[in-house]
Structure 1
Amino acid sequence: MRSTCAAAVWTAERYKAEAVRRRTLRAERKPLVRDARRALAVARKSDPDRTKGATHRAERELAAAKRRVPDPMWLFASKAVVLAAVAGYVGLPLVPSAVWLWSAVAVTVAAVGAVVVAVALAARRPKGLVPTAEERQLLKRLAPEHWREHADGRGLAGTLTGRPVLTDAGIVTDVRLDGTWTAGKLRTAADHVRALLGCRAGLRMEIKAGDRGGWAVITLRTRSAADGDDLKWSPAARTFGVDTVTGEHVTVPLGERLLIAGRSGAGKSVASRPLLFDASEGDTNALVIIDLKMVEGRLWDHRARVESTPEGVVDVVAELADEMRERLALLPKGQATWTPTADRPRLTVVVDEGAEVVTAAKDALEGLETLARMGRAACIDLWWMTQKPTIGDGIPKQIAPQISTAICLAVRTPAEARVVLGEDAQAKGWLADELPAPGVAFVRDGKRKPNPINVRYMDDSQVIALPDQPIWRGPKVAPVISMRKPPEPPATPAAAESTDARVLRIVQDGPARQKDIAERTGLSKGAVSKVVARLVAAGRLVRLDDGTVSAPARTEATA
């Protein structure tokens, strides 16, 4: 029955393939027939008596064009059936009974033989993965016999491979290290290993320490467990990516402080979009994007609060710091983390290019460092993204130690990989400087192994088409009765006017920065930011191009 079903499937596939072939040929050749008919009509019009050679040539070309157009499959099959029926009706009564008998025997023997051959071929067919020609060559050269014979000539004396294994993620083999060999030393001799194996230059090879001392593991990424997966993001496929070793769909949960790094062109912005979607989706999540490059944030301004100027960055960071302190002050005794609500949701603060913030918005760094240290308990999480993963320039020293999860795409140097993934990154196989680009990343969260991940991607049109979400604007804190201390009374108009007067008195001496105003008045940066915004809106202050504020210039009329 299995063989019969297979034969039926084979027949149906051949029928469909032949039908497609004939349909394609008819589409290509029928216009040639039309052209030949037109040429013949022109020739006959000029030669009604058909005495010229051009007319006969046109007739022959038309006949040849018609012969080259095959019948459609249904017509061809119908003709074949009719022809077989006529031949059987005419010829079968003339066949002797002995011929019928021996024909039946021959057909039975042929069927039994075909079944036996099919069973034998199935038994000999290799189980599991079938190696390609390249993999067969590498498996042969990784065999202990071949390695032992050629290792000395390649400068690898004192090493010996085990039996290589073909997996969904490539070829893996253990290597015994004798004498002074270590996994790190074998990694530096990777070129000698490539020469011994004769593998192509583009084949990614990983060498890391084994599970026991004196052993290393060589992995040749000849294939990926993510092959065949559609990596385009969709609402039904909302994971971060697919593990190329295990085939697992990888997710990055909210509530973590992230560092997302990768060189220019590695796909950092596109890879982060599924995470930004999760951070902005739902009633209890809100997204804040700091994007001084003014590129990626513009795509999300219908779902996130986006600040793209140094002044705006300082203001929003001050608001976030105040929000964090208010939430921490309101936390009930015995509760470690804030519970997000629709009014006060989980806030994810994304710094799209950290190096730009370090350079152009230095006044916001102190607040961002405070959010990195204390924001998790208040459900305010900082995600720092940079294509310059160096401490001090691309990642502030106070923020780097607070990172709990690192996502690293391709970087330029091993030093950058160590900054993002840890000082032990190279020794443990987190070789981010060897990742292909774009779209392949490591996720180090203390749980995952150093398996490359093919990340999903969202294009610009998908982001723009996402439904709108409420934009967080720093809501006022409602009075809450606490057992620790009584609620503070609301500020009176006189007190508010007194604060305004203090700010105005300072700027009368000349333009001043908000930081200087905060230092001289003793107010918090957030309070100063709100007062300045109110006075600018009322026309009592003017914000200058360099970020300072000043009293408006007097005109002759007002003088």
Structure 2
Amino acid sequence: MIIFDRKYVEARNWEHRARTVVELDEMRAVCRELIAEGEERLKSLPRGQDVVPISPERPRITVFVDEGGELLSDAKTKVKGEGDYQDVIETLRTIARKYRAAEIILVWATQKPTLSGDGHGIDSQIAGQMSVRLGLAVASQTDAQTVFGRSDWPAHDLPMPGYALVFDQDKGKDQRRNPIKLRYMTAQQVIALPARPIWYRTEEMPAVPEQATELRRPTLRLVKDGDVLLAPPEPAPAAEAGSAPVQLTDSEAKVLAALVAAAGPQRHRDLVEATDMAKATVSKAVRRLTGHGLVVRDGQTYTATSAAKEVSA
């Protein structure tokens, strides 16, 4: 699972089970990975099959957009010399339209299920691709009709919080409209869930990297009072003696030097401030350094490995 969360709050609870992205530059970088992964999967789809086979090496990827209205609004943000972030929204449209056959699934969540106007909560093209819709209690029949595409699904009349209606267009118009009871989990219960492998795709690695699962599997280190602390993923193996040294660009060298100087975990924004470089430039440098085994990521922070100190020196 990959969680896009511009509100920041929910994503923090899932860092040990999902790849979480909260900054727009990080979302742009992940979108590029998803496009590359989706295209490669579709090109490798066996003849006569409608959906790519999934496996531990090539898992189903669920892209969950939380607070979708916030993302739509923030994507209009102008960055000097770089335009806005509408390419992030365009990628999510592509995922919704094209990549279900590649087992890359988009789930969109919003508190305001409107398709247009100021502050709308979901993009109209994305909404048109949603074949399954789940609605909690909404404010009005108009909102219910926006969610389900029909006025006779009374999400505005649900009996109490915690109940929802689910509509699956593949089941046709005669499906039952009985409310279902949803399972509720506190933040502490989510944090206490066991860790699981987190998907990454980097420019330096093939689509199914050798030993990728082992290198990127977070490991549980301590469980205390409902808090789960994660050990960072193991770094890639050091290069063998006599092998060609890692060649770093100027931006990669600056990011690596900042991480080594910090001598501890750094957030993306910390690296932007320390290097005085654009967010996108820092994101690309960190991805490449991670691929080289010089940097490890743990949730929303980055740390230099022991090999990084030698390269930096």
Give the corresponding residue for 2:134.
Answer: 407
Q: Which residue of 2 aligns with 1:175?
A: none
TM-score, scaled to structure 2: 0.60
Does residue 461 of structure 1 match 2:192?
no
2:123 — aligned with what? 396
- Mapped partners of 1:301, 1:531: distance in 2: 22
Corresponding residue for residue 344 of structure 1: 58
Report the equivalent of 1:277.
none
CA contact (8 A) 1:318 1:529 kept: no
Deviation per residue, 1:136-175 (Å, 9 max, x gap): xxxxxxxxxxxxxxxxxxxxxxxxxxxxxxxxxxxxxxxx
CA offset at residue 437 of structure 1? Answer: 3.6
Q: Which residue of 2 aligns with 1:443?
A: 166
Aligned residues of 2:38 and 2:99 also touching (Cα < 8 A): yes
Give me the whole-angstrom Cα distance separating, in 2, the residues matched to 1:320 and 1:478: 11
| CA distance in structure 2 between the aligned counterparts of 1:478 and 1:459, rounded to whole angstroms | 35
Q: How far is the alpha carbon of 1:456 from its aligned partner?
A: 1.8
**2:25 touches 2:283 (CA, 8 Å); kept in 1?**
no
Query: What are the Cα deviations for residues 20-75 of structure 1, in whole angstroms up to 9, with x where unaligned?
Result: xxxxxxxxxxxxxxxxxxxxxxxxxxxxxxxxxxxxxxxxxxxxxxxxxxxxxxxx
Structure 1 residue 436, shift from structure 2 partner: 3.4
Cα distance per residue 1:101-149 (max 9 Å; x no partner): xxxxxxxxxxxxxxxxxxxxxxxxxxxxxxxxxxxxxxxxxxxxxxxxx
- State whether structure 2 residue 144 is matched by structure 1 residue 417: yes
Matches for 1:333-372 after TM superposition, within 5 Å: 333-361=47-75, 362-372=86-96
- Give the superposition deviation at 1:529: 6.7
- After superposing on structure 2, the runs of 4+ consecutive aligned residues of structure 1 that deviate more than 3 Å are 511-514, 528-535
CA pair 478-471 structure 1, distance change in 2 beyond 3 A: closer
Between stretches 455-464 and 363-372, larger displacement belongs to 455-464
Task: Quote the Cα distance in structure 2 between the aligned partners of 1:293 and 1:529.
Answer: 20
- Cα deviation code 1:233-292 (max 9, x no counterpart): xxxxxxxxxxxxxxxxxxxxxxxxxxxxxxxxxxxxxxxxxxxxxxxxxxxxxx111111
Residues 321-365 of structure 1: CA distance to partner in whole angstroms, max 9, x if unpaired? 111111111112222111111111000010011001101133310
Residue 19 of structure 2 aligns to a residue whose secondary structure is strand
Unaligned runs of 5+ in 1: 1-286, 480-492, 501-510, 518-527, 539-559
Letter in 1 for 2:93: E
- State yes or no: 1:477 paired with 2:196: no
Q: Are 1:327 and 2:41 counterparts?
A: yes
Cα distance in 2 for partners of 1:534, 1:404 equals: 37
Give the one of 13, 29, 33 matched to 1:299: 13
Instruction: Give the partner amino acid of 1:394.
Output: G
Which of the residues 157, 166, 185 maps onto 1:434?
157
Counterpart Cα distance in 2 of 1:497 and 1:309 = 25
In the TM superposition, residue 414 of structure 1 has moved relative to its aligned partner by: 1.5
The answer on whether the counterparts of 2:64 and 2:109 sit within 8 Å (CA) in structure 1 is yes
Q: Which moved more, 1:379-388 or 1:449-458?
A: 449-458
Partner residue of 2:100 out of 373, 376, 380: 376
Give the 3 Å change call, closer, same or farther, for CA 530–338 of structure 1 in structure 2. farther
In the superposition, relative to structure 1, how do residues 419 and 308 fare at CA in structure 2: closer, same or farther (>3 Å)? same
1:403 Cα deviation (Å)? 0.1
* Contact 2:201-2:207 at 8 Å conserved across structures: no
Once residues 10 and 248 of structure 2 are traced to their aligned partners in structure 1, the CA distance between those partners, rounded to angstroms, is 40
Deviation at 1:312, TM superposition (A): 1.2
Amino acid at match of 2:90: E
Counterpart residue number, 2:225: none
CA RMSD of aligned residues (A): 3.1
Distance 1:497 1:465 in 2: 39
Aligned pair count? 210
Q: Secondary structure at the match of 2:108?
A: strand
Structure 2 residue identity aligned to 1:317 = C
- Structure 2: gaps of 5 or more residues: 76-85, 209-243, 252-276, 293-313
More helix by share: 1
Describe the shift of the 1:366–1:532 C-alpha distance in structure 2 as closer, same or farther (beyond 3 A).
Answer: farther
In structure 2, the CA distance between the partners of 1:408 and 1:477, relative to structure 1 (3 Å rule), is same
CA contact (8 A) 1:408 1:442 kept: yes
Q: Distance in 2 between matches of 1:454 and 1:410?
A: 12
Residue 96 of structure 2 contacts residue 129 of structure 2 at CA under 8 Å; is this kept in 1? Answer: yes
Q: Rate the CA distance shift 1:532–1:342 in 2: closer, same or farther, 3 A.
A: closer
Give the Å deviation of 1:460: 2.1
- Hey, what does 2:109 align to over in structure 1? 385
Secondary structure at the counterpart of residue 451 of structure 1: coil
Q: Distance in 1 between matches of 2:112 and 2:54?
A: 33
